[in-house]
Structure 1
């Protein structure tokens, strides 16, 4: 888990990242690929799911599509 925190810190990510060591969340949400990103609104509703890696610019562009 140290390497995950180091990666997050070095990329200056300011969003929450779930660490799921026992895979209970992966099982609950049927996550079959890593990374999988969920975009969740302030009320806890899942707006969208993206399977695969994304850089910060891709994330920003993806979020803009959700604002429409």
Structure 2
């Protein structure tokens, strides 16, 4: 993980990541008990893969982020 590099006083620079981490915590962390850091790390890695490859988004025309990027690369 890397520290946020947004400009001082411009919170909107980082809003996409803030949104992602909020969703990640809601769907992976809150209300769950993990037996080890490795178990939590694996759950996060699995969720990131799911989020990028399978979780469709209305803003991306009902495609996953990977599908949206691939579609746009083909049409460019």
Q: State TM-score, norm by structure 2.
A: 0.27
The structure with the largest helix share of the pair is 2
Highest Rg: 1 or 2?
2
Q: State TM-score, norm by structure 1.
A: 0.29
- Pick 1 or 2: higher relative contact order, CA cutoff 8 A, min separation 6: 1
